[in-house]
């Protein structure tokens, strides 16, 4: 197809509407997995050549096509308002050009994928960088990276688009029906959301990388009303980089009655009160705490001040590596962009750095941080750990967390039941609830989705009004039990916000069951 | 270049003509979103994003589905419409689907895209950064900030002949100054400004630098109940926490702070807040200049939500209004929001305070209990102890747990209103006119040494 066939205009208005050179069509014309034969290679070379001609010392162009699709059933009514994106079905495609000129970044993006537009946007990104040089006080320094020509994709057993809408609705409707049968339930929403991300990255350093990622996130929430109190309970399903198999393996239907009954019980559950308790946390709850007070403070861009105006800085300092005790000897944390299923698992990051797995905490001690090409030099490293990501073609890439996991205990570690049996005065917490953390990730207050009293080794009754307060290092110092790998599970979030303009990331966080001794509970309600 | 009314009309007409459904709606959103970021007193990102999207909703009887595309060529539109029509046909009936809003709707007309904002480019933003960071350097602090700019069009049309178009352009300047020893931090900013000449980057930089320098080496004071003076930014964030409770359906279903004693009842007409708490949506406000287009294309009209503490209106969406035999509100509570202010300056509020805290910023606010509007959050970027009418020391940040349902009964002074964003980020419309406010008995729960 020739370029002139691509371009059409609408009527006499002069609004340029570009036809058939859509990323999707170009994808169809390009042999998958043969990146050097792709139509995007030629378009990329156009941008890279133009950037070089304009005097840029670095350039990359990233084409993406994102398809968000979701369906939800609320009180037997099919709705769209749920998902990775704004809800419903959304197709978004375009490209972004990033350059370094005069030692400063410039970025511009557009949904119109034509040669003329690529030239224009490349020039605009360059102009932005040149204009910015007036207010630079330091220059961008990129860690070196090998050039790759590669294709990488998430392994998928069943593509979500291959499952009929009828089947999806029917499944979600069954969850509605089952939940609404439970006395006291006033509302239920069941949902499934799918995110397909295709991207082609080309850099002025010789990389041409094509990747395809599918993410799937199902779940349901039941709301009950009893004695004038309304409470909701959400069934935690781990969202994953994978296909429809995530829905099929989630055992949602099997758990509806239990979850609905727990929502009802929660309405009349007694408050936990205020005091020091031992917390036993399921992986579905621990993921949030890991995300907020382990993963965020170990982002190097935060540590060196890049996020001071919004997301914040960190209590961790550059000089803390190798010294700071973040937790007890049982506390081992690993960053991982390679583990199958992790929502941040990719072949390469958006700098073109090959994905990796690396420790950041070992036996309680901070040993490393999350880095990308732009920030690695701040801690004297000569290679990036590969943490650059942009939500879509429209957004500029910057440092985002990978999957961050707490490692399971060694062989012989207690089972979840054994941890409970060994707890005299505690609270079992499952699922996500209210959470709020200071801008340096040191003081956090967390809730959960459901809570049970543990008395003398027995899980007794549900409790309400549970929040706990965590001073990060003290909190993890009080970690005194981790279950083994048999009960290790990876949950995650589809809405990790950071940056200005805000971008969304989808990290996974794996954890064993953990116990944290003597933590202040209930202060929010005192 | 923003899309003109005629250009958008051509697009929406084209989409509507292509649809074969019983009825269809098209929403257009597009334009330029640009931004400049800086940190450690150096520019770190400067960008221009161009985007456009149409969201197409089709109906067959009570069946409906929506899809969004960013490509407007015939093939893409055809593909999207075919897909969404197939989706809609396969869906069960939606009993809550309301008929299309019919024209004519009397939208208030005013100019929300002034040339100074439309033409606010990357070079001008970079110069603003330079002016700000030069001051930072002189004052011995590090500046980190954000200058977002929108030149944007929101439009919609339906197959019943309705067409709406709203073009706006605005910008914000938001800055955090930190001391090199990392013990002091200060915030200042202005948001949602329609006339860029009203952004005084140098003044704001001096305010943030002052706060950073004065907040160095804060001391810890005991958690407990304090008189707090919220400057406009934390006041705007705090105000936003009660907006969701104005939803009539949630209230009547028993799931909200505004629920009455029995299911189906609300607190409409009750005096829930103090005499000095009045909250309105003032469509056409000349400072805010925000969209006059309400839910589904209804003409937004000014609504008084709370008047002298009494709940005057709740938001009825079109479906719930019909079900409850009420008029739909059209105006959502976050539109053109104005909280009545007073005449007290922050300095005067300080002078009248025996013991309290001056709060520069609230951070990471999250709900703890929706029924009571209990929320938690942190102070940040400048917290100062007041004793006997004077600021006596910077203090370490606090976590708080408090409810606006309580606090808005405890307002002891209000300042003049200023435009300030109510959201956590600054990327979408959300600026309201909000006063600084002095609140009694505000619950600080624990200390955080984070700076």
Other CB atoms within a 10 A radius of the CB of residue B219 amount to: 10
State the Cα–Cα distance between residues B32 and A111, nearest whole angstrom.
12
Give the pLDDT score at B75: 84
Selected for mutation to probe chain A from B34, B450, B451 (highest A CB count within 10 Å) is B450
More confident residue, B241 or B65: B241
- B11, B255, B447: residue with CB nearest A10: B11
Give the pLDDT score at A524: 87
Peptide bond before B104: cis, by omega within 30 degrees of 0? yes
Residues in B closer than 8 angstroms to A226, CB to CB, are none
Residues A64 and A123 both lie in one domain: yes
Measure in Å the smallest separation between the Cα of A469 and chain B Cα atoms: 9
Domain end among B164, B181, B214: B214
A98-128: per-residue pLDDT in tens?
Answer: 999 999 999 999 999 999 999 999 999 999 9
Residues B73 and B194 both lie in one domain: yes
Chain centre to alpha carbon of residue B382: 22
- A22, A80, A394: residue with CB nearest B51: A394
Residues B205 and B225 both lie in one domain: no
Q: Is the confidence at residue A2, as pLDDT, over 80?
A: no
**What is the mean predicted confidence (pLDDT) over B399-407?**
97
Residues B198 and B298 both lie in one domain: no
Residues A475 and A331 both lie in one domain: yes
Inter-chain contact B144–A309, Cβ cutoff 8 Å?
yes
B5 CB within 8 Å of a chain A CB = no
Residue of B nearest to A94 (CA): B70
Domain of residue B210 covers 5-214
How many domains are contained in chain A? 2
Residues A214 and A363 both lie in one domain: no
Give the pLDDT score at B87: 84
Residues A337 and A398 both lie in one domain: yes
Measure in Å the smallest separation between the Cα of A387 and chain B Cα atoms: 17
Inter-chain contact B46–A14, Cβ cutoff 8 Å?
no
A388-433: per-residue pLDDT in tens?
Answer: 999 999 999 999 999 999 999 999 999 999 999 999 999 999 999 9
Give the pLDDT score at B83: 85
Q: Is the confidence at residue B428, as pLDDT, over 90?
A: no
Residues A441 and A305 both lie in one domain: yes
Q: Give the pLDDT band of residue A78 (cuts 50, 70, 90).
A: confident
State the Cα–Cα distance between residues A440 and A436, nearest whole angstrom.
12
Residues B127 and B207 both lie in one domain: yes
Residues A352 and A250 both lie in one domain: no
State the Cα–Cα distance between residues A491 and A493, nearest whole angstrom.
7
Selected for mutation to probe chain A from B41, B71, B174, B369 (highest A CB count within 10 Å) is B71
Give the pLDDT score at B18: 96
Asked if residues B27 and A86 have their Cβ atoms less than 8 Å apart, the reply is no
Inter-chain contact A89–B83, Cβ cutoff 8 Å?
yes
User: Which residues share a beta bridge with B303?
Assistant: B281
Asked if residues B164 and B109 have their Cβ atoms less than 8 Å apart, the reply is no
Measure in Å the smallest separation between the Cα of A413 and chain B Cα atoms: 34
Residues A131 and A152 both lie in one domain: yes
Which positions 121-150 of B are in contact with A (Cβ < 8 Å)?
Answer: 121-123, 126-127, 129-130, 133, 142, 144-146, 148
Q: Is the confidence at residue A87, as pLDDT, over 60?
A: no
**What is the mean predicted confidence (pLDDT) over B121-127?**
96
Which positions 342-371 of B are in contact with A (Cβ < 8 Å)?
Answer: 363-371
- A308, A394, A395: residue with CB nearest B39: A308
Q: Is the confidence at residue A523, as pLDDT, over 90?
A: no
Domain end among A243, A268, A293: A268
* Cβ partners under 8 Å of residue A360, min gap 6: A298, A333, A334, A335, A366, A367, A368, A369, A370, A404
B3 CB within 8 Å of a chain A CB = yes
Residues in B closer than 8 angstroms to A169, CB to CB, are 90-92
Burial state string for B180-189 with b = 16 or more CB within 10 A and e = fewer than 16: eeeebbbbbb
State the Cα–Cα distance between residues B205 and B130, nearest whole angstrom.
11
Length of chain A: 526
Inter-chain contact A94–B53, Cβ cutoff 8 Å?
no
- B41, B47, B263: residue with CB nearest A396: B47
Residues B130 and B144 both lie in one domain: yes
The question of ipTM being above 0.90 is answered as yes
Inter-chain contact B378–A501, Cβ cutoff 8 Å?
no
Domain of residue A346 covers 275-525
Q: Give the pLDDT band of residue A519 (cuts 50, 70, 90).
A: very high
Chain centre to alpha carbon of residue A507: 3
Residues A90 and A12 both lie in one domain: yes
Residues of chain A with pLDDT > 90, as a percent, come to: 87
Give the pLDDT score at B184: 98
Selected for mutation to probe chain B from A26, A439, A519 (highest B CB count within 10 Å) is A439
- B42, B254, B263: residue with CB nearest A138: B42
A455-486: per-residue pLDDT in tens?
Answer: 999 999 999 999 999 999 999 999 999 999 99
Domain end among A268, A286, A311: A268
Q: Beta strands B355-359 and B224-230: pairing type?
A: parallel
A320-343: per-residue pLDDT in tens?
Answer: 999 999 999 999 999 999 999 999
**What is the mean predicted confidence (pLDDT) over B138-165?**
98
B253 CB within 8 Å of a chain A CB = yes
Inter-chain contact A305–B142, Cβ cutoff 8 Å?
yes
Residues B268 and B125 both lie in one domain: no
State the Cα–Cα distance between residues A431 and A287, nearest whole angstrom.
9
Domain end among A217, A242, A268: A268
Residues B115 and B196 both lie in one domain: yes
Residues in B closer than 8 angstroms to A310, CB to CB, are 146, 425
Give the pLDDT score at B211: 98
Selected for mutation to probe chain B from A438, A446, A504, A519 (highest B CB count within 10 Å) is A438
B7, with CB counted inside 10 A (0-12, 13-18, 19+), is buried
Domain end among B173, B194, B214: B214
Domain end among B214, B248, B279: B214
**What is the mean predicted confidence (pLDDT) over B246-259?**
95
B401 CB within 8 Å of a chain A CB = yes
Burial state string for A406-434 with b = 16 or more CB within 10 A and e = fewer than 16: bbbbeeebbebeebbebbeebbbbbbbbb
Other CB atoms within a 10 A radius of the CB of residue A502 amount to: 17
State the Cα–Cα distance between residues B294 and B195, nearest whole angstrom.
24
Residues B289 and B208 both lie in one domain: no
Inter-chain contact B90–A165, Cβ cutoff 8 Å?
yes
Residues B92 and B159 both lie in one domain: yes
A64-75: per-residue pLDDT in tens?
Answer: 999 888 889 999
Peptide bond before A501: cis, by omega within 30 degrees of 0? yes
Residues A367 and A387 both lie in one domain: yes
Inter-chain contact A135–B14, Cβ cutoff 8 Å?
no
Give the pLDDT score at A81: 55
- B51, B83, B176: residue with CB nearest A308: B176
Inter-chain contact A166–B50, Cβ cutoff 8 Å?
no
Residues B373 and B440 both lie in one domain: yes
**What is the mean predicted confidence (pLDDT) over B208-235?**
98
Residues A257 and A304 both lie in one domain: no
Give the pLDDT score at A15: 37
Measure in Å the smallest separation between the Cα of A156 and chain B Cα atoms: 23
How many domains are contained in chain B? 2
Measure in Å the smallest separation between the Cα of A407 and chain B Cα atoms: 28
State the Cα–Cα distance between residues A208 and B373, nearest whole angstrom.
51
Q: Is the confidence at residue A367, as pLDDT, over 60?
A: yes
Residues A260 and A292 both lie in one domain: no
Residues in A closer than 8 angstroms to B43, CB to CB, are 104, 132, 135-136
**What is the mean predicted confidence (pLDDT) over A20-35?**
83
Q: Give the pLDDT band of residue A166 (cuts 50, 70, 90).
A: confident
Q: Give the pLDDT band of residue A9 (cuts 50, 70, 90).
A: very low
Asked if residues A222 and A303 have their Cβ atoms less than 8 Å apart, the reply is no
B377 CB within 8 Å of a chain A CB = yes
A203-246: per-residue pLDDT in tens?
Answer: 999 999 999 999 999 999 999 999 989 999 999 899 999 999 99
Looking up residue B21, the CATH number of its domain turns out to be 3.30.2290.10
Q: Is the confidence at residue A14, as pLDDT, over 50?
A: no
Asked if residues A457 and A420 have their Cβ atoms less than 8 Å apart, the reply is yes
Residues A321 and A390 both lie in one domain: yes
B59-93: per-residue pLDDT in tens?
Answer: 999 999 888 888 888 888 998 899 889 888 888 89
Q: Is the confidence at residue B1, as pLDDT, over 80?
A: no
């Amino acid at each position: 197809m020739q370029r002139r066939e691509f371009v059409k205009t609408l009527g006499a208005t002069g609004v340029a509407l570009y036809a058939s050179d859509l990323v999707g069509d170009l994808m169809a014309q390009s042999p998958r997995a043969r990146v050097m034969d792709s139509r995007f290679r030629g378009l990329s070379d156009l941008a890279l050549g133009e950037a070089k001609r304009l005097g840029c010392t670095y350039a990359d162009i990233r084409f993406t096509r994102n398809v968000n699709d979701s369906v939800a059933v609320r009180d037997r009514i099919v709705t769209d308002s749920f998902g990775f994106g704004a809800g419903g079905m959304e197709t978004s495609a375009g490209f972004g050009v990033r350059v370094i000129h005069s030692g400063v970044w410039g970025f511009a993006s557009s949904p119109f994928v034509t040669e003329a537009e690529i030239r224009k946007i490349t020039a605009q990104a360059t102009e932005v960088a040149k204009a910015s040089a007036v207010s630079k006080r330091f220059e961008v320094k990129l860690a070196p990276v090998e050039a790759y020509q590669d294709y990488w994709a998430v392994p998928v057993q069943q593509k979500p688009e291959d499952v009929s809408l009828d089947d999806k609705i029917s499944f979600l409707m069954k969850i509605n029906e089952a939940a609404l049968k439970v006395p006291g339930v006033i509302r239920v929403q069941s949902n499934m959301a799918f995110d397909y991300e295709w991207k082609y990255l080309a850099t002025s350093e010789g990389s041409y990388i094509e990747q395809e990622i599918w993410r799937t996130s199902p779940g349901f929430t039941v709301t009950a009303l009893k004695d004038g109190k309304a409470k909701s309970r959400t069934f935690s399903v781990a969202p994953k980089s994978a296909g429809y198999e995530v829905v099929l393996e989630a055992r949602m239907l099997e758990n509806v009655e239990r979850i609905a009954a727990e929502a009802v019980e929660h309405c009349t559950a007694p408050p936990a009160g205020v005091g020091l308790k031992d917390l036993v946390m399921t992986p579905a709850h621990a993921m949030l705490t890991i995300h907020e007070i382990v993963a965020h403070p170990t982002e190097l861009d935060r540590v060196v001040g890049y996020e001071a105006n919004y997301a914040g800085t960190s209590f961790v300092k550059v000089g803390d590596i190798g010294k700071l005790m973040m937790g007890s000897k049982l506390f081992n944390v690993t960053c991982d962009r390679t583990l199958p299923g992790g929502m941040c698992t990719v072949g390469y990051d958006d700098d073109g750095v090959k994905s990796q797995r690396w420790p950041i905490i070992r036996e309680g001690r901070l040993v490393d941080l999350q880095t990308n090409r732009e920030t690695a030099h701040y801690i004297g490293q000569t290679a990036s750990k590969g943490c650059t990501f942009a939500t879509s073609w429209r957004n500029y890439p910057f440092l985002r967390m990978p999957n961050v996991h707490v490692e399971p205990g060694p062989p012989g570690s207690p089972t979840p039941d054994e941890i409970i049996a060994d707890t005299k005065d505690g609270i079992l917490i499952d699922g996500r609830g209210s959470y709020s953390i200071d801008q340096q990730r040191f003081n956090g207050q967390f809730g959960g989705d459901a809570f049970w009293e543990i008395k003398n080794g027995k899980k007794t009754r549900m409790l309400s009004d549970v929040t706990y307060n965590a001073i990060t290092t003290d909190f993890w110092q009080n970690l005194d039990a981790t279950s083994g790998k048999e009960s290790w599970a990876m949950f995650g979030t589809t809405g990790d916000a950071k940056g200005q303009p805000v971008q969304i990331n989808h990290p996974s966080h794996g954890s064993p069951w953990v116990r944290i001794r003597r933590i202040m509970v209930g202060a929010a309600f005192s | 270049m923003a899309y003109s009314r005629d250009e958008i009309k051509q697009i929406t007409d084209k989409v509507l003509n292509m649809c074969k459904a019983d009825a269809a709606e098209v929403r257009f959103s597009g334009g330029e979103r640009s931004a400049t970021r800086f940190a450690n007193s150096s520019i770190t990102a400067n960008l221009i994003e161009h985007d456009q999207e149409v969201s197409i909703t089709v109906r067959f009887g009570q069946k409906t589905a929506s899809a969004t595309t960013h490509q407007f060529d015939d093939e893409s539109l055809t593909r999207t419409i075919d897909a969404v029509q197939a989706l809609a046909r396969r869906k069960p009936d939606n009993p809550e689907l309301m008929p299309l809003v019919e024209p004519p709707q009397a939208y208030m007309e005013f100019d929300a895209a002034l040339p100074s904002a439309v033409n606010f480019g990357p070079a001008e933003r970079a110069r603003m950064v330079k002016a700000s960071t030069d001051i930072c350097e002189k004052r011995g602090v590090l500046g980190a900030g954000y200058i977002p700019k929108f030149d944007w069009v929101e439009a919609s049309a339906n197959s019943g002949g309705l067409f709406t178009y709203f073009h706006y352009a605005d910008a914000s300047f938001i800055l955090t100054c930190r001391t090199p020893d990392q013990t002091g931090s200060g915030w200042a900013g202005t948001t949602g400004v329609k006339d860029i000449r009203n952004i005084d980057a140098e003044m704001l930089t001096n305010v943030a630098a002052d706060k950073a320098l004065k907040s160095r080496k804060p001391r810890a004071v005991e958690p407990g109940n304090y008189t707090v003076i919220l400057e406009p930014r934390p006041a705007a964030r705090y105000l936003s926490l009660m907006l969701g409770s104005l939803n009539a359906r949630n209230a009547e279903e028993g799931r909200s702070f505004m629920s009455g004693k029995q299911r189906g009842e609300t607190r409409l007409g009750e005096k829930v807040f103090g005499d000095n708490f009045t909250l309105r949506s003032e469509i056409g406000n000349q400072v805010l200049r925000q969209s006059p287009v309400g839910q589904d294309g209804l003409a937004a009209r000014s609504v008084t939500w709370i008047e002298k503490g009494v709940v005057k209106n709740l938001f009825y969406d079109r479906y719930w209004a019909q079900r409850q035999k009420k008029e739909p509100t059209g105006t959502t509570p976050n539109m053109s929001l104005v909280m009545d202010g007073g005449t007290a300056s922050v300095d005067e509020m300080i002078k009248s305070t025996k013991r309290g805290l001056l709060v520069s910023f609230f951070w990471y606010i999250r709900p703890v209990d929706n029924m009571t509007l209990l929320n938690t959050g942190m102070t940040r970027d400048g917290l100062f102890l007041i004793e006997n009418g004077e600021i006596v020391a910077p203090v370490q940040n606090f976590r708080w747990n408090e409810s606006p349902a309580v606090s808005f009964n405890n307002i002891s002074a209000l300042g003049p209103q200023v435009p300030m964003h109510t959201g956590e980020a600054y990327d979408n419309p959300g600026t309201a006119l909000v006063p600084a406010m002095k609140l009694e008995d505000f619950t600080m729960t624990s200390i955080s040494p984070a700076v």
